[in-house]
Amino acid sequence: MAGFSPKTDEPMSGINITPLVDVVLVLLVALMVTATDLAAQSITVELPRAATGSDAPARTLAISLDAQGGTFLDGAKVTDEVLSAAIRQAHDKDAEVRAILAADGRVPHARVVHVVDLLRKENVVHFALEVEPEG
């Protein structure tokens, strides 16, 4: 047989460190990947000024529709009235406000069209429908 069976009652004195090395290497790779990402986010730079620059990028509203009929704005459950008011307020602050609409596949088409209509009524014409890529 390929296995080793000791014939004596002596305790095993060797430790197999191969699994330990595997775990340490996986942790090291994970640390290197996350550290690079964190370092890129934490670098402080002094940006130059430009006459045509803007203060901040356009605001993006994250609107979600779940299968149970709930509407969420930036993760908080809202009614249609609250959603319209929030869209109006965001558009008043920034004319280039954008929206990303994520609707569950089981949501009726009419509900999605209703939310798109709310966006258009408040002059938010830059919006996208979020989908899961195939593959």
Domains and CATH numbers, the chain: 67-129 (3.30.420)
pLDDT tens, residue order, the chain (135 aa): 455 555 667 777 778 888 889 999 999 988 887 776 665 555 566 666 777 766 566 678 889 998 888 899 988 899 999 999 999 998 888 888 899 898 888 889 999 999 999 999 988 888 888 888 776
- The answer to whether the predicted template modeling score (pTM) of the entire model surpasses 0.75 is no
Q: Tell me if 90 sits within 8 A of 61, measured CB to CB.
A: yes
E-assigned strand segments in 15-132: 60-65, 71-73, 76-78, 98-103, 126-129
